[in-house]
């Protein structure tokens, strides 16, 4: 099993930046594809960014492309999401997740989830 703990959320003004972290337990973190999802109030959980365990390629939702950067440090068993130029619509609970498959934007494919961290962007 893998346990995931997110951190780094908070309140930030529009245009500001935050860096989310996701610490994973276990020694096989590098074997998983990883991703960030988010869920805004009243909306479904949506894919934000991901890294394929096979190719190492990174994928982004169109809404965050050019503003967010996903990265991982397998030595530290940690996943990151650098969020710049934040917008009001980025307000959501952000979740990290791992997938034993290659890569997917479908949340049903993910095996383990963190508890989420709140990001609130104010005007």
Using one digit for the tens of pLDDT, what is the confidence trace for 70-109?
Answer: 999 999 999 999 999 999 999 999 999 999 888 899 999 9
Neighbours of 68 (CB within 10 A): 21
Answer whether 103's CB lies under 8 Å from 95's CB.
no
Answer whether 5's CB lies under 8 Å from 113's CB.
no
**DSSP letter at 26?**
S
- Locate 39 and state its tokens: 């869920």
The pLDDT assigned to 29 comes to 83
The pLDDT assigned to 68 comes to 98
- Locate 74 and state its tokens: 């397998």
Write the pLDDT tens digit of every residue in 41-72: 999 999 999 999 988 999 999 999 999 999 99
Write the pLDDT tens digit of every residue in 26-41: 768 889 999 999 999 9
Residues in a beta bridge with 13 = 122
């Amino acid at each position: 099993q893998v346990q995931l703990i997110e951190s780094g959320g908070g309140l930030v003004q529009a245009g500001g930046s935050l860096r989310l972290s996701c610490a994973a337990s276990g020694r096989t973190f590098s074997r998983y594809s990883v991703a960030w999802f988010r869920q805004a109030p009243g909306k479904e959980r949506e894919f934000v960014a991901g890294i394929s365990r096979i190719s190492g390629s990174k994928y982004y939702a169109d809404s965050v492309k050019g503003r967010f950067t996903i990265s991982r440090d397998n030595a530290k068993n940690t996943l990151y999401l650098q969020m710049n130029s934040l917008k009001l619509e980025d307000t959501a609970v952000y979740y990290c997740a791992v997938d034993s498959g290659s890569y997917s934007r479908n949340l049903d494919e993910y095996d383990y989830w963190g508890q989420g961290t709140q990001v609130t962007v104010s005007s």
